[in-house]
Structure 1
Amino acid sequence: MGKYCLRPLTRRHFSTNPSSGSELTAEFTNLCSKGHLKQAFDRFSSHIWSEPSLFSHLLQSCISENSLSLGKQLHSLIITSGCSSDKFISNHLLNLYSKCGQLDTAITLFGVMPRKNIMSCNILINGYFRSGDWVTARKMFDEMPERNVATWNAMVAGLIQFEFNEEGLGLFSRMNELGFLPDEFALGSVLRGCAGLRALVAGRQVHGYVRKCGFEFNLVVVSSLAHMYMKCGSLGEGERLIRAMPSQNVVAWNTLIAGRAQNGYPEEVLDQYNMMKMAGFRPDKITFVSVISSCSELATLGQGQQIHAEVIKAGASLIVSVISSLISMYSRCGCLEYSLKVFLECENGDVVCWSSMIAAYGFHGRGVEAIDLFNQMEQEKLEANDVTFLSLLYACSHCGLKEKGIKFFDLMVEKYGVKPRLEHYTCMVDLLGRYGSVEEAEALIRSMPVKADVITWKTLLSACKIHKKTEMARRISEEVFRLDPRDPVPYVLLSNIHASDKRWDDVSDVRKAMRDRKLKKEPGISWLEVKNQIHQFCMGDKSHPKSVEIASYLRELTSEMKKRGYVPDIDSVLHDMDVEDKEYSLVHHSEKLAIAFALLYTPVGTPIRVIKNLRVCSDCHVAIKYISEISNREIIVRDSSRFHHFKNGRCSCGDYW
C-alpha cells in the first residue's frame, strides 16, 4: 500500500466545520510542506471537504516525497469526494503522474479531463521531455492554439536538453519576438545551447538580453553565462563574471572548475578544487566528475586515489556519473585492475558505465575482453549507444581485429539503428589503416556520407607511415594541407616517411615548408608521478636536478641491454647524422629518461607508470622490453595512442600498435 495508508472519507467528513479558516489552512499547508501527509489528512479531513482545493497541497507533497502510492489513494478520495472535475486539482494529479514516471497514466487522465487549460498541456509537454519523447512534446506544442510563457520556457529548455541547440535558440528568438519574458531557467538553457554550439556571438547577444531583463545578478543565470564563455574558449570573461558575483555557491565553484577542465588546465582544476574546500564548500557529484577527469588527464594516480576516498566520504560513490569518471581515471592512470574493481562494485551501472569499461579495455589493448563485456551487456538487455560502439571499434583497431570491427560497425547500423558519426568512420579508417588495408581505408573516406575532417585524413597518413606507403602519403598529405595548412603534424609525418626511405632532399623540402610557415614540431615529453610530484622530461633534457645521475645510469643500463642482445634501431632516427650521434639521440629519448629516473628513485618492485605525449618509437619499445626484464619491474607506458604494459621482456600490445 505504500509508506502511508489514508483512512477513507466517510459521511461524517462531508460537513462544514465552523472552526475552519485561514489559521487551520496555514497549519495544514505547513504539515504538507514538511511531508507529514498522514498527520495533515487525519487532523483536517473535514476541513478538506469544506475546502477541496486543499487536496492540491497533499498532491504537491506527494510529488516532493515521490510517493506515488499515496498519490493514487488521494486520487481515489478525490473521485469519491466529487472533486475530480476541478481543473486545479486535476492539473495537480496530472503533474503527480507525470513527475512520478507514470506518463501513460497522465496521458489517460489528460484524455478524460473535462476541463483542460494551458497548464494541463504544459505539464504533459514536460512529462514527454522527462520520458525522452521530444517528438511528441514538439507535436503537442505545435498543435496548442494558445501558449503562455511557461509553454515557451518548457519547450526551449526541453529541446536544448536533447542537444537540439539550434532549434532551441530559434524558438527562443521567436519567443522574444512575441513578447514573452523567459525565466531564469529558460535563460540558463539558452546559454547552455550557445555553449553546445560554441556560439560566442550568440552568447554575447543573450548576455545583453540578460542585462536588459535584470538577471545580471541571478546566480543561476550568471553561472550559465560564465559556463557559456568558458565553453566557447573565453575563460577570462567567464571567470570575471563568477568573481564579480556578490555571493558564491557550489554552482559557481563548479563552473570555475569545469571551465579550467574544458580549456585544458588540469593542474589548475586541482588548485581550484582545494580552494573550494578551503572556502568551506562541500564538493558535489559535478565537482567530482571535473576533478577526477583532470586526474585522468594528468595521470596522477596518487591524487586520484585521494579524491576517490573523498568521493566515498561524501556519499557520492554510488552516483553513476562519478563511477564512470573513476573507471576512466584509473584506466588512464594505467590501473586497469582498479577500473574493473570500481565497475564490478557498481550494482546499478548504466550504459555509460559499461561503455567506460569497454573503452578502458580497448585503451589497454584488451580487445577480447572488451568484446566479451559487450556480449554481457547485450545479455543484461542494456541498449548500446554510439559511444559504446566507438569504444568497441577503438578496441578492435588497437588489437588488429579487422573482421570483428567491421562486424560491429554493421551491427551498430543494422540492429541498433545508430547513425554513424564522423568519429565512427575515423575509427574504421584507423582499424583498416593499422591492419595494412590503406587503400580500403582511403576508399571508405571517399565514400563516407559525411565530409572527412583533418583528423580522419591524418589517421590515414599515419597508417601510410606505419606501412611505408610513400607515394600514397604524398597524395594524402595534400588533403590535410588543404584543410589545415597551419597543422605541423602532417608535415612531420611526411618528413618521417621520406626519412625512412633515406630521401633526404624530400625531407629538406618538407622542413623548409615548415620553416616558411613558422611551424614547429611538437617536442616529445614524458612525465611520471612520484610521491604526488610530477617529474617531466624532454629528449636530451639536462634541466632535471638528477640529470647527471640519470645519464650515468642510462649508460650502464644500455651496456647491460646490449649484452643481452639489444641493438639500437638507428633507422628510427629520422635525421641525416652519424651512427654515433644517432645512438646518443636514441638513448636520451624522453621515455628512457623518465624510466631511468623511476628505477633510481622509486621502491624496488613497484610498477613504473610513464606518460608520453607522442607515440612510442620502435627503438624505445624494444629497449623498454629489455629494461623490464633487467630490472624485474613492470613498466606501464601511456603514449598518444594507447597503453603498453611491459613485463618480463614482453609488451601487452604484442608489437601491434
Structure 2
Amino acid sequence: MRCGWSKAFIATSHHSCRRNPAATVPFTSSRQRSFRTYLDLRPGSNLSPPQQYDSESSPHITEDFYLDLLSLCTNSKSARQGICVHSPIIKLGFHGTLPLNNHLFAFYSRFAGAETARKLFDELTERDVVTWTGIISTYSRIRNHVEALFLFKCMLEDDSPVVPNEFTFSSAIHSAASLRLLDLGTQIHAQVWKRGFDTNTVVGSVMLDVYAKCSRLKEALEIFASMDYRDVISWTTMISALVKSRDWIGAMQMYSRMIENGTSPTEFTFAELLKACGCFFALRCALMLHAHLLLWGVELNLVLKTALIDMYLKCGRMNDALKVFRQTTDSDVKLWTTMISRYSQAERYQEAISMFKDMKNAGVMPNSFTYAAILSVSSSASEPELGKQIHCRVVKAGLEHDLSVANSLVDLYAKYSLDPVDMMRAFRGIASPNVVSWTAFIAGLARHGFEQKALLASVEMRLAGVEPNSYTLSTVLTSCNSAEALPHARKLQAFMIKTKVESPGLVAENSLVDAYARFGRVDDALAVANTMMPHRDVFTYTSLAKGLNQVGLHRRALDLIACMHKEDVKIDGFSLSCFLSAAAGLAATELGKQFHGLTVKSGLSSLISVSNALIDMYGKCGSMEESRRIFMAIKEPDVVSWNGLISALASNGLFMEALSTFEDMRIARAQPDGVTFLLVLYACSHGGLVDAGVEYFNSMHEVCGVMPQPEHYVCLVDMLGRVGRLEAAACAIETMPFQADALIYKTLLASCRQHGNLVLGECTARKALEIDPLDPAIYVLLASIYDDAGNVEWAEQTRRMMRERATKKCKGQSWLE
C-alpha cells in the first residue's frame, strides 16, 4: 500500500509541475533563491541530471530545507507546490523522518482534506503525539466526532503508546461534548487529572464545555473555580452554560465577574449574553449590553449582529432591530428570514412583505425557510394573491417539495382557496407528510365543511405511521360538530388517555371539553375537566359554562364561578359573557346587575362580546331602557349587537320598534345574517305584519345575499298560518328547496287547529307522522282538531294511538325571579 501511495504522489507532483513549471509565489529573497534551487533540481528541469537523486549525491539538500519549503507552501496556501515538494522527499529518502512527516501531514490535513491526510497517516510507521493530535483534531474540526474519538482510543491502545498532551485531550473532549457523551467525557476527565492537566487553561475550557452541554452545571462551576487562569474562552463557556440552563441572573453575574477580573469580552461573549436578554431580562439590561459592546469596541460581525437583532426582536423593539440590521451590509439569508418571521409574529405583515422585497433587491437568494415564512405572512395577512405569486417562485426555485414550504402552501390554500382541490393538490404533493402537514390538511377540510373527510383523514394519518400531537387532536375535535362525530370524540379521548399526549396549555383537553359541551354531553365534559386535567384554565370553564347554558342548566353554569375563584382562575370577557347568558336564562335581574358591576370594575365593559351579552341579559329580563343604553354606548356595534337589540325589542312585544331597529341596521350598513332575519320574521309573525314579513323573506337572498334556511321557512309558515293563509303556507312547504321535517308540519298543523281546517290538518298530520311517528305533539294537535270539529270518536282513537306509539310528553316549565 505504501509503495502505491508514493507512486501516486510522485505522478501527481510531476504532472502538476509539468503543467505549470513556473508556478511560484513571492517569497523573501533568501528563501526564494532556495526555492528556485529546488525548481532547478526537480525532475524534468533542464539543469537536473538524469540520475536518481539521494542525500549523498545532493549534500546541500537537507531535512531542514524541506521543512522550510513546506512552511513556505503552508504560509502561501499553495497546495499544488506543497504536493510537488512531497515527491523529492520520497525520492531522497526523507519520508521516514518524523518531523518532516508531521509537517507533511499538517499540510495535507489543511489543504487536501481529512481523507487524504488519513492516507498519509495510515502509511506512517512511526507516530508521536503531534501526529496523533493532528489526525484527531482534523476529524474533530470537520465534525466527524465519532472517528475522532475512535482514533483517540487507538492512540491509547497503540503498541507503543503515546502520552496525550493538552491539545490531544482538548480535541477528544470537544468531540465528546459535541456528541453529548457525558460518561466518555468524565473518563477523559479522569485521564486529564491523572496526567496533571487539570489546571491547564486549554483543557479546562473544553471540560467546561462538555459538562455544560450535558447539563451538568454544578460540575462545570467546580472546574471553573479550580482553574488557576481563566481566559476569555473559559468565561464565555461558563456564561453560555448558565444561559443554556436558564440561569439568566447567574449569566449576568458571571459577566460582571469577568469584567472585574480584567478579561475583555469578545463578540461571542456578547452573543451569549444577548440570548439571556432576549429570553428574560428587561430591555434596560439589553440596552446596557449594547452600550458595553460599543464601549469595548467590538466589531459588529454577522454573529453579533444576528444576536443583537434577535434580542431586540424578542423584546418587541422592531424598529431598533431594523436600525441594527441596516447598520452594516453584512447579512445572510438566515438573518433576512429571521426579520421576516418576527415581523409576521408581530402581525406587521406589510413590513414583512417589504422586507422580502428588499431581500430580493439585495441579491440574497431566499431558501426554503424564507419561502415558508413569507407564505405564512400571506396566509395571516389575508393575501392569497401574494401567496400564489410566492408559489410560482417556489416552483421556479425547485423547492415545492420541501416539507416546510409545502406545509405553508397547504395552510394557505386551506384558509383562502374557495376550491378545496387546491389544498388537496398541495397536500398530495408532499412525499412524506409530517404531523404539521396532516394537521393543516385536517383543519382545511373542516374549514370547508367536510367533517367526515376530516375525521377520515385523522384515521389515515395514523395508518401512515404519523402520530397526532395535541394540536392535531384539537383540530380534529374542533371539526366534530354533528352528532355522528360523538363516537369519534370518545375514541380520541381514549387515545389521549392511553398515549398520555403532552398538551401544552391544555390545548387538547380543552378541545375535548368543548366538543362534549357542543354535543350537550355536559356530564362527560365535567368528567374530562375533573379527571384528565391537572388544572383548569379560563378556556375550560368558558366551554363548561357554554355547554351548561346550551342544555338549560343555567344555575349549574353560575356555580362554576365559585370553582374559578377557588382555583384562582380569572374571569375574562368570554367567560363573563357565558355567565351573563346564564343570568339571562334565569331572568335573574339582580344577579345580572351584579355581573354588570363586575364588568365595569374589571375593565371588561369595553369588550363588545360583554356588551352584547349585557344587551341580551337586560332584554330577557325586560329592562329595555338598560338594553338600549348599553347598545348606544357601543362605538361600532356588530351584527350580534344589532341582533341582541332586535331580539330584546321583539321578545318584549315591541314589534314595530324591532323592525325600525332593523331598518336602522341597514342604514348603518351593517350586514344582517340569518339570525337577524329570524328575529325580523318573528316580529312580523307575532305583530301581525304578514305582508311586511313576506317582503322581508323574499328580500333575504335578493337584497342581502342571505340564503333562507329551514328555520326561516318555519317562521314563514307560522306567520302565514296565524292569519289563516293556510294554502299559501302549505305551498311554501311544498316549494322550499329542503326536505321538510316534522317541525314545519307541526307548525302548519297548529295553524290548521287554530282555524279549524280539518282536511288540511289531516293531510299535514299524516305527513308529519311519516317523518316522526313517536312525537306526541302531532297526536295532541290532530285530536284537538277532531274535538273542535265535533268528531269525538276519531279524537279518542287518535289519543289511543298516541298512548300506544308515542313517547311521554315532557311537562312545560316556566321561571320567574
Regarding TM over 0.5, the answer is: yes
- The one-letter code matched in structure 2 to 1:65 is A
How far apart are residue 437 of structure 1 and its match? 0.9
**Closer, same or farther: CA 274–247 of 1 in aligned 2, 3 Å:** closer
1:173 matched residue in structure 2:
459
**Closer, same or farther: CA 134–382 of 1 in aligned 2, 3 Å:** farther
Q: Any idea what SS the aligned residue of 2:815 has?
A: strand
How far apart are residue 299 of structure 1 and its match? 1.6
- The one-letter code matched in structure 2 to 1:444 is A
Question: Is 1:92 the equivalent of 2:373?
Answer: yes
The answer as to whether partners of 1:269 and 1:291 remain within 8 angstroms in 2 is yes
How far apart are residue 153 of structure 1 and its match? 1.3
Rounded to whole Å, the distance in 2 between the matches of 1:128 and 1:295 is 42
How far apart are residue 446 of structure 1 and its match? 3.0
Q: Determine which of 124, 145, 153 is the counterpart of 2:439.
A: 153
Rounded to whole Å, the distance in 2 between the matches of 1:79 and 1:87 is 14
Paired residue total: 511
Superposition map of 1:190-229 within 5 A? 190-211=476-497, 213-215=499-501, 219-229=506-516
**Closer, same or farther: CA 296–382 of 1 in aligned 2, 3 Å:** same
**Closer, same or farther: CA 107–316 of 1 in aligned 2, 3 Å:** farther
Q: Determine which of 102, 108, 123 is the counterpart of 2:408.
A: 123
The answer as to whether partners of 1:362 and 1:396 remain within 8 angstroms in 2 is no
**Closer, same or farther: CA 229–468 of 1 in aligned 2, 3 Å:** same
1:35 matched residue in structure 2:
316
Rounded to whole Å, the distance in 1 between the matches of 2:547 and 2:578 is 9
**Closer, same or farther: CA 518–78 of 1 in aligned 2, 3 Å:** closer
How far apart are residue 271 of structure 1 and its match? 0.7
The answer as to whether partners of 1:392 and 1:405 remain within 8 angstroms in 2 is yes
**Closer, same or farther: CA 314–171 of 1 in aligned 2, 3 Å:** farther
User: Quick check: 262-271 or 281-290, which moved more?
Assistant: 281-290
How far apart are residue 72 of structure 1 and its match? 5.0
- The one-letter code matched in structure 2 to 1:203 is A
Superposition map of 1:437-456 within 5 A? 437-456=725-744
- The one-letter code matched in structure 2 to 1:359 is S
Rounded to whole Å, the distance in 2 between the matches of 1:222 and 1:444 is 45
How far apart are residue 267 of structure 1 and its match? 0.9
The answer as to whether partners of 2:586 and 2:815 remain within 8 angstroms in 1 is no
- The one-letter code matched in structure 1 to 2:363 is G
Q: Under a length normalisation based on structure 1, what TM-score does the superposition of the two structures give?
A: 0.69
RMSD: 3.2
How far apart are residue 287 of structure 1 and its match? 1.3
How far apart are residue 525 of structure 1 and its match? 4.2
**Closer, same or farther: CA 305–184 of 1 in aligned 2, 3 Å:** same
Superposition map of 1:381-396 within 5 A? 381-396=669-684
How far apart are residue 129 of structure 1 and its match? 4.9
Question: Is 1:60 the equivalent of 2:341?
Answer: yes
Rounded to whole Å, the distance in 2 between the matches of 1:199 and 1:285 is 29
Q: Determine which of 250, 256, 260 is the counterpart of 2:538.
A: 250
Rounded to whole Å, the distance in 1 between the matches of 2:559 and 2:669 is 42
1:183 matched residue in structure 2:
469
Rounded to whole Å, the distance in 1 between the matches of 2:421 and 2:483 is 21
How far apart are residue 220 of structure 1 and its match? 1.4
Q: Any idea what SS the aligned residue of 1:324 has?
A: helix
Per-residue CA deviation, residues 319-377 of structure 1 (Å, 9 max, x unaligned), is 44433333332222223333333322222222333333333333334443343333333
Rounded to whole Å, the distance in 1 between the matches of 2:812 and 2:485 is 34
Rounded to whole Å, the distance in 2 between the matches of 1:325 and 1:491 is 39
**Closer, same or farther: CA 163–261 of 1 in aligned 2, 3 Å:** farther
User: Quick check: 396-405 or 410-419, which moved more?
Assistant: 410-419
How far apart are residue 385 of structure 1 and its match? 2.6
1:139 matched residue in structure 2:
422
The answer as to whether partners of 2:378 and 2:386 remain within 8 angstroms in 1 is yes
1:398 matched residue in structure 2:
686
Question: Is 1:78 the equivalent of 2:366?
Answer: no
How far apart are residue 69 of structure 1 and its match? 5.2
Rounded to whole Å, the distance in 2 between the matches of 1:447 and 1:137 is 31
The answer as to whether partners of 2:655 and 2:683 remain within 8 angstroms in 1 is yes
Higher Rg: 2
- The one-letter code matched in structure 2 to 1:146 is G
User: Quick check: 387-396 or 69-78, which moved more?
Assistant: 69-78
The answer as to whether partners of 1:257 and 1:273 remain within 8 angstroms in 2 is no
Q: Any idea what SS the aligned residue of 1:527 has?
A: coil
Rounded to whole Å, the distance in 1 between the matches of 2:812 and 2:511 is 38
How far apart are residue 157 of structure 1 and its match? 1.3
Question: Is 1:264 the equivalent of 2:547?
Answer: no
- The one-letter code matched in structure 2 to 1:183 is N
Q: Under a length normalisation based on structure 2, what TM-score does the superposition of the two structures give?
A: 0.57
Per-residue CA deviation, residues 493-530 of structure 1 (Å, 9 max, x unaligned), is 3444455556655555455445555855554544321x
How far apart are residue 270 of structure 1 and its match? 0.6
2:561 matched residue in structure 1:
273
The structure showing larger relative contact order (alpha-carbon pairs under 8 Å, at least 6 residues apart) is: 1
Superposition map of 1:547-586 within 5 A? none
How far apart are residue 249 of structure 1 and its match? 1.7
Question: Is 1:462 the equivalent of 2:750?
Answer: yes
Q: Any idea what SS the aligned residue of 1:384 has?
A: coil
Question: Is 1:285 the equivalent of 2:573?
Answer: yes
- The one-letter code matched in structure 2 to 1:332 is K
The answer as to whether partners of 1:340 and 1:357 remain within 8 angstroms in 2 is yes
Q: Any idea what SS the aligned residue of 1:248 has?
A: coil
Rounded to whole Å, the distance in 2 between the matches of 1:186 and 1:28 is 33
Q: Where does structure 1 lack aligned partners over 5 or more consecutive residues?
A: 1-16, 530-657
Rounded to whole Å, the distance in 2 between the matches of 1:137 and 1:453 is 31
Superposition map of 1:211-610 within 5 A? 211=497, 213-215=499-501, 219-244=506-531, 245-500=533-788, 508-516=796-804, 520=808, 522-523=810-811, 525-529=813-817
Rounded to whole Å, the distance in 2 between the matches of 1:92 and 1:369 is 52
The answer as to whether partners of 1:161 and 1:189 remain within 8 angstroms in 2 is no
- The one-letter code matched in structure 2 to 1:190 is V
**Closer, same or farther: CA 330–500 of 1 in aligned 2, 3 Å:** farther
**Closer, same or farther: CA 342–129 of 1 in aligned 2, 3 Å:** farther
